[in-house]
Structure 1
Amino acid sequence: MNQRNQVIEVMRHNGGFATLQYLNQHTDVSKWATRTPFASIRRIVQTSSDFFKIRPGLWALSDMRELVLQYLQLQPQANEYQQAEFDHTYYQGLLAEIGQWRGLDTYVPAQDGNRPFLGQPLREVTTLSNLPAFSYPHVLRRAATVDVLWFNARQLPAAMFEVEHSTDFQNSFAKYLDLQDFRAQLCLVASSVKQREFADKLTRTAFEPLRPLVQFISYEQVAQWHSSESVRQNSVPSGF
C-alpha cells in the first residue's frame, strides 16, 4: 500500500475526516523512506484530489464529502450561525487538546461542554469539569466565561484564550482587564484577517493596560501547533 492509500485508510477508519495530528499519530510511517513523514502526510492531503480541506488542520475524503459535512453539521445549507458555532467549538477543542499535551489542566465554560467537537462533546477533551478555586468568587465568575483556560500544577491560570469569530474583541478585552493581574498568557484567537481590527481596538485608551499582555493568535497558527510533531510529543512549539 502506498503512502497516499495509507493516509486514506486511516482517515476512512476515523469516519472520513481527521485532523493532521490524528493522521500523524495513527499513520504507520515506519517504512516510509523519508526523514520528514509528517511533512509528507501534510503534502499528500494538500495536493491529492482524494482529500478536501474543511478548516485549517482538518481534512476529509472527497468521496465522503456529503456524509462528513452532514455529520459535522456543515452542509451547504448551514447558515452563518451554524458555521460560526462550528468554528468556535473547533478551535476551543484544538486549544484544549494542546493544553493537555503540554501537561496542563484544561477548562471550558460549563455551557460549552456539550457542544460537538469532531464527533464528541467538547468536555471530553478537557481535564477539568469544575473551575479551580484560585481566587475570589467574583473573579472566578469572570474567569469561568473565558473560552479556554489552561492551569498549571498549582491550579493557577497558565493561559487564557478567547476565540473571536463574529464579535469585535471588546468583550474579550473587558474580561482580560478584570483578569490581567494573574501571571497568565492572555490570548485572542481569530482569523488572520481580523488582526488589524485587533490592533486597532487595542489602541483605545480603555485597553491600554492590556497592550503588553495580550497576544493575537490566528486560526492557522493554532492548527499548526495542534498538528506539529513537537506539540504531539508534549513540548512547547516556538512562537508562544
Structure 2
Amino acid sequence: MKQYEAVAEVIRRHGGYATLAQIYQDIIKLEGCHWGTKTPFASVRRIVQTKSDLFFKIKPGLWGLVDYRDKIPPEVLSEEPEPISAKDNELLNHSYYQGIAAETGNFQGYHTFVPHQDRNKIFIDRKLGEIITKPEIPQFTYPELVQKAKGADVIWFNKRGFPERFIEIEYSTDMNNALLRFLEFQDFQTKFIIAADAARHREFQSKIENSAFQPILNRIEFWDYEKLCKCHEKASAAAELEKILRV
C-alpha cells in the first residue's frame, strides 16, 4: 500500500472526512504501509496538502476525500453557505473549534472542561461531553468566581486543578464579554486566548488597548482558526510520537 493510499484508507474509515489528529492516531497502526521516515506525520500533512485529486480541505484542520464529497453530511461541510442556515452554520463551526481547543488541551496533558449546556453539541462525530476530561469544574477558588468560570468555552486545568488557559471561541459574538470574563481571573497565573477568524484580529487589537485590560495584556493572545488547528495538529503528533517511543 502506498502512503497516499494509506492516508485515504484512514479517512475512508472515518466516513470520508477526518482531522489530521485522527489520521495521525490511526495511520501508524494501519498494516501494509511502510513509512521509512522519522517524520511520518509531516509526510501525512504533505500528502493531504498536495494530492488535490484525492483530498480536499473542508475547514482548518479537517480534510475530506474527493470521491466522498457528496457523501459527507452537510453539517460537516458547514463552511459552505448551503444547504444549512447561517445560524446553524455558526453553531456548528463554534462547536467544531470548541472541540479542537478541548482536544488540544487533552493532547498536552491538561484536564479539559466545557460548559454543561454545550456538552451535547457535536464535534465531528462525537459530542463535546465525550471529549472533555473534567465533567465538573474544579473548585479552585471562591464560589462566585468558579461560577463565572463555568461559562468559558474551554478551560484547560493543570494537574493541581488550577486553570492554565481560558479559551473563548468568538465566531461572531462581541469580544468584550470574553475579555471581561478573562479580567475576573487576573490574579491567577492563567493565560487567555481569543480564537476567531483572522479578519477579527484588528478588532481584537482595538479592544485590548482599553486601559481596563492592562492587568492581563501580557497574558492574552489572539489565535486565528488556522493557528488553533495548527496547535491541535502539533499537539496530536507529539502525543502520538510519545506513545510510539514508550512501546
Normalization by structure 1: what TM-score? Answer: 0.91
- Of 30, 44, 48, the residue aligned with 1:45 is 48
C-alpha separation in 2, matches of 1:50 and 1:227: 20
Cα distance in structure 2, aligned partners of 1:15 and 1:102: 27
Equivalent AA in structure 2 for residue 22 of structure 1: Q
Q: Identify which of 29, 34, 39 aligns with 1:31.
A: 34
Indicate how the Cα distance of structure 1 residues 125 and 233 shifts in structure 2: closer, same or farther if over 3 A, else same.
Answer: farther
The code of the aligned residue for 2:118 comes to D
> How big is the alpha-carbon RMSD for the aligned residues of Structure 1 and Structure 2?
2.0
Question: For 1:133, which of 139, 150, 155 is the aligned residue?
Answer: 139
Query: What is the CA–CA distance in structure 2 between the aligned matches of 1:102 and 1:31, rounded to whole Å?
Result: 28
Alignment check: 8 A CA contact 1:105 1:127 kept: yes
Match of 1:119 in 2: 125
Distance 1:156 1:13 in 2: 38
* Alpha-carbon spacing, 1:103–1:233, altered in 2? closer, same or farther (3 Å): farther
1:110 deviates by: 0.5
What displacement does 1:234 show?
6.4
Distance 1:179 1:219, change over 3 A: same
Does the Cα contact within 8 Å between 1:98 and 1:231 map onto a contact in 2? no
Paired amino acid for 2:63: W
Q: Secondary structure at the match of 1:223?
A: helix
Instruction: Give me the whole-angstrom Cα distance separating, in 2, the residues matched to 1:69 and 1:51.
Output: 16
Following superposition, the deviation at residue 157 of structure 1 comes to: 0.8
Identity %: 38
User: Which residue in 1 is equivalent to 2:64?
Assistant: 60
Once the two structures are superposed, what CA deviation does each residue of 1:41-93 show, in whole Å capped at 9, x if it has no partner?
11211122211111111101111113213363737222222222122111111
The Cα shift of 1:18 comes to 0.7
Cα deviation code 1:91-138 (max 9, x no counterpart)? 111121121122211100000000011111101010111111111121
Distance of 1:98 and 1:137 partners within structure 2: 27
- Structure 2 length as normaliser, TM-score? 0.88
8 Å contact from structure 1 (residues 159, 186) kept in 2: yes
Equivalent pairs counted in the alignment come to 235
**Are residues 1:161 and 2:160 paired?**
no
Q: Is the 8 A contact 1:21 1:232 kept in 2?
A: no
Contiguous gaps of at least 5 residues in structure 2: none
Q: Please tell me whether residue 89 in structure 1 is matched to residue 89 in structure 2.
A: no
Structure 2 Cα separation of the partners of residues 222 and 162 of structure 1: 12
Mapped partners of 2:92, 2:185: distance in 1: 27
Aligned with residue 221 of structure 1, among 204, 221, 227: 227
User: C-alpha distance in 1, partners of 2:138/2:171?
Assistant: 27
Do the aligned partners of residues 73 and 43 (structure 1) sit closer, same or farther apart at CA in structure 2, a change above 3 Å counting? Answer: closer
CA distance, structure 2, for counterparts of residue 155 and residue 169 of structure 1: 27
Distance 1:183 1:232, change over 3 A: farther
In structure 2, relative to structure 1, the CA distance for the partners of 1:137 and 1:233 (3 Å cut) is farther
Counterpart Cα distance in 1 of 2:77 and 2:150: 27
